Each structure stands twice: as C-alpha cells, then as structure tokens.
Amino acid sequence: MELDHLFVLVDPRGPELDDLRALGLVETYRRKHPGQGTENVCFAFDNLYLELLWVSDPQEARSPSIARTRLYERSRWRTEGTCRFGIAWRETDGEPTLAAPVWSYEPPYLPPGMSIAVAVDSDDPRMPLMFRSPGTSAPTDWPAERRGELQRGAGLGRVVAVSLTLPADIAPGAALRSLVASTDLDLRVGPSSLVLEVERRDASAPLILEWQG
C-alpha cells in the first residue's frame, strides 16, 4: 500500500493554484466530476500527485449519492471546523489492504460497476477523506501523454515526506492508523495542516508545500 495522491479543498478562485505556478509547478491535468459537483487541477510528482479540489455545484455535492463524503461540508472548513484534506492510497493484487472498514462509493462520473472504497472513519468530517484510488501505478509509470514532464521543469522529483497534523482532540481511528503504519504518511498533533516535502533533483533542500486546515 502506497500513497497515491493527496487532495486539498480550495475556494473556486482561491490563490493556491497561482501559488503553485509561481513555484514553477505545471499542472498535469484537470477535470470535472459530473454528478459530484467538484472540479480539480492535479500536479503529478514522480511517486504521487497533488489534487487541488473545489466544489463547483453545491447542490450536486449535497445530493444523496455524494452526501456521505461530506465534500460540501469539507469545502466550508473555515466556518465548520471540518478537514479540507483527502488521502488516497493505491495497492496492487496481493498487497495488504486497509486495516479498517470501508464503504463503496459510486459517484456518477465513474463507469457503471466501478466504485471507490472509502474509509468509514471518514464519516467524521473532522478527519481527512481516506479512500482507495482506482489507479495502481505511480505517475512515472503513467503513459507519456498523461504524465507529461511531471515537475522536471521545476527541478523536482519525488515527494519524500507527507505530514498530516490534526488537533489533539481528534483521535485517529483505525483507518488513519493503518495508513500511518503502511505508507510514508506521518501523523502529528497540533493545528490542522498538510505538508509535502518534495526532493529537488540538484540535491538541495527539499521544497516545502504547506496548507493550513
């Protein structure tokens, strides 16, 4: 089991996209999620990718088939004290799975019969949304037309560390403990935040990307 991607919920016209571009990062792809009411922009590194996600249609995001994800409430993290972060893991056949209960999420934009395993612990919107990615390979193994140049133009390679910080009054459940035990995710206590450390290909100090919860 490996970290596949991380998402950060942002405002539709928030500064986060421009902040990443100012650092020299280039978007790998973007897409809309019909029926889920969200859109994204993704930045792929060698081993995982970062997704900036926003709610574009609140009505869809609050519809019965989507509501359990609490994406709408998560998008209101400033006023509702929810967690704006998501953690997706990937696994291949024969690998250990998440040591925690999951439920099958079937958003309208997926092909019929396809679902996403979501940790039941994520029913608490103060926790990150934790789910299994449909993908099973790192960005370096994607087809060239999908991965592009990754972040080589900015002199960046792998994400070498991922740190999630949660307030002391939010106890990690079985899903988060399993991710910490089985992936490179580091869990800390303090004001909510997500931090990525990205290696520089010239071996200088890593680039630090940080978002407050």
CATH number where 40 lies: 3.10.180
pLDDT tens across 93-124, in order?
767 689 999 999 999 999 998 999 999 999 99
> 90 in a domain, yes or no?
yes
What is the model's pTM?
0.95
Burial class (CB in 10 A: 0-12, 13-18, 19+), 153: exposed
Strand-pair partners of 186: 163
> 191 in a domain, yes or no?
no
Number of domains in the chain: 1
Domain extent at residue 58: 2-153
> 108 in a domain, yes or no?
yes
150: left (phi over 0), alpha (psi -120 to 50) or beta: left
> 177 in a domain, yes or no?
no
> 181 in a domain, yes or no?
no
Cβ neighbours of residue 151 under 8 Å, at least 6 residues apart?
24, 25, 26, 43, 44, 45, 157, 198
The pLDDT value recorded for residue 94 is: 67
pLDDT tens across 33-67, in order?
999 999 999 999 999 999 999 999 999 999 999 99
> 161 in a domain, yes or no?
no
Asked if residue 42 lies in contact with residue 23, where contact means CB atoms within 8 angstroms, the answer is no
Run of H or E including 72: helix 71-74
The pLDDT value recorded for residue 13 is: 83
Residue 3 has pLDDT above 70, yes or no: yes
Percentage above 70 pLDDT, the chain: 99
Percentage above 90 pLDDT, the chain: 93
